Chain A
Amino acid sequence: MAHKIIPIGPYHPLQEEPEFFKLHVDGETVVDMDIEIGYNHRLIEKIAESKNFDQVTFLVERICGICSTSHPFAYVNAIDDLIGIQVPERALYIRTIIGELERVHSHFLWLGLAGHFLGYNTVWMWAWRYREPVLDIFERVAGNRQNYAMMKPGGVRRDMFEEDFPWIKKTLKDLIPKIDMFKGAVMDDPVIHARTEGVGVLTKEDVHQYCVVGPTARASGVGIDIRKDDPYAAYDKVEWKMITHEGGDVYSKAVVRILELYESINIIIQCLDKMPKGPIDSGIKDIPPGEGIGRHEAPRGEVIHYVMSDGGNSPARHKIRAPSYMNVASNKKAVIGESISDATIILAAVDPCYCCTERMAVVDYKTGKKMMDGQDLIRLSQEKTERLRGRHNMPPLH
Chain B
Amino acid sequence: MKRESIIENIKVRSGKDLLEFTSKSKNRVYFTINKNILAQIAKYLFSDVKARFSTASGVDTRKAVEILYHFSIDEIGLIITLRVILDKSSLEIESLTPLMKCAEWIEMEMHEMLGVNFKGHPNLKHLLLTDDWPEGNYPLRRDNGA
Residues of A within 8 A of B (CB): 37-38, 41, 43, 45-46, 81, 84, 208-211, 213, 224, 226, 229-231, 291-293, 295, 302, 304, 306, 308, 316-317, 319, 321, 325-326, 329
Residues of A within 8 A of B53 (CB): 211
Give the tally of cross-chain contacts (CB within 8 A): 86
- Other-chain contact of A329, B28, B78, B101 (Cβ < 8 Å): B101
A245 to B105, CA, bound (A): 28
A293 to B57, CA, bound (A): 11
Indicate whether A37 sits within 8 Å of B25 (C-beta atoms), given known contacts A210-B102, A293-B70, A329-B101.
no
Pairwise interchain contact A306-B68, C-beta atoms closer than 8 A: yes
Give the distance to chain B from A312, nearest Cβ to Cβ, in Å: 14
Pairwise interchain contact A304-B128, C-beta atoms closer than 8 A: no
A316 to B53, CA, bound (A): 23
Closest partner residue, chain A, to B112 (CB atom): A38
Residues of B within 8 A of A46 (CB): 139-140
Count of chain B residues near A, Cβ 8 A:
37
Give the distance to chain A from B57, nearest Cβ to Cβ, in Å: 4
- Other-chain contact of B25, A84, A224, A231, A325 (Cβ < 8 Å): A84
Residues of A within 8 A of B11 (CB): none
A372 to B81, CA, bound (A): 47
Residues of B within 8 A of A319 (CB): 55, 57-59, 68
Closest partner residue, chain A, to B75 (CB atom): A229
Pairwise interchain contact A211-B140, C-beta atoms closer than 8 A: no
A209 to B100, CA, bound (A): 6
Pairwise interchain contact A211-B127, C-beta atoms closer than 8 A: no
**29 A/B residue pairs, CB under 8 Å, sorted by A:** A43-B139, A46-B139, A81-B25, A81-B28, A208-B50, A208-B52, A209-B100, A210-B101, A211-B52, A213-B52, A224-B52, A229-B77, A230-B72, A230-B74, A230-B78, A230-B79, A291-B24, A293-B28, A293-B79, A293-B81, A302-B54, A304-B54, A306-B55, A306-B70, A308-B59, A317-B59, A319-B58, A321-B55, A329-B102
B104 at interface by CB-CB < 8 Å: yes
Give the distance to chain A from B61, nearest Cβ to Cβ, in Å: 8
Residues of B within 8 A of A230 (CB): 27, 72, 74, 77-79
Pairwise interchain contact A304-B70, C-beta atoms closer than 8 A: yes
Closest partner residue, chain A, to B77 (CB atom): A230
Residues of A within 8 A of B60 (CB): 317
Pairwise interchain contact A231-B77, C-beta atoms closer than 8 A: yes
Residues of B within 8 A of A326 (CB): 102
A211 to B24, CA, bound (A): 25
A46 to B74, CA, bound (A): 29
Interface of A is mostly: mixed
A213 to B140, CA, bound (A): 27
A291 to B53, CA, bound (A): 19
A231 to B78, CA, bound (A): 11
A130 to B99, CA, bound (A): 44
Residues of B within 8 A of A (CB): 24-25, 27-28, 30, 50, 52-55, 57-60, 68, 70, 72, 74-79, 81, 100-102, 104-106, 126-130, 139-140
Closest partner residue, chain A, to B28 (CB atom): A293
Closest partner residue, chain B, to A333 (CB atom): B101
- Other-chain contact of B102, A38, A209, A224 (Cβ < 8 Å): A209
Pairwise interchain contact B55-A325, C-beta atoms closer than 8 A: yes
Residues of B within 8 A of A292 (CB): 24, 28
Give the distance to chain B from A76, nearest Cβ to Cβ, in Å: 16
Residues of B within 8 A of A325 (CB): 55, 105-106
Known: A321-B54, A329-B105. 4 other contacts (CB 8 A): A41-B129, A230-B78, A231-B77, A316-B59
A337 to B103, CA, bound (A): 24
A291 to B127, CA, bound (A): 27
- Other-chain contact of A304, B55, B77, B101 (Cβ < 8 Å): B55
Pairwise interchain contact A306-B52, C-beta atoms closer than 8 A: no
Pairwise interchain contact A38-B104, C-beta atoms closer than 8 A: no
Pairwise interchain contact A37-B74, C-beta atoms closer than 8 A: no
Residues of A within 8 A of B55 (CB): 304, 306, 319, 321, 325
Closest partner residue, chain A, to B125 (CB atom): A36
Residues of A within 8 A of B54 (CB): 211, 302, 304, 321
Indicate whether A211 sits within 8 Å of B77 (C-beta atoms), given known contacts A224-B52, A306-B57.
no
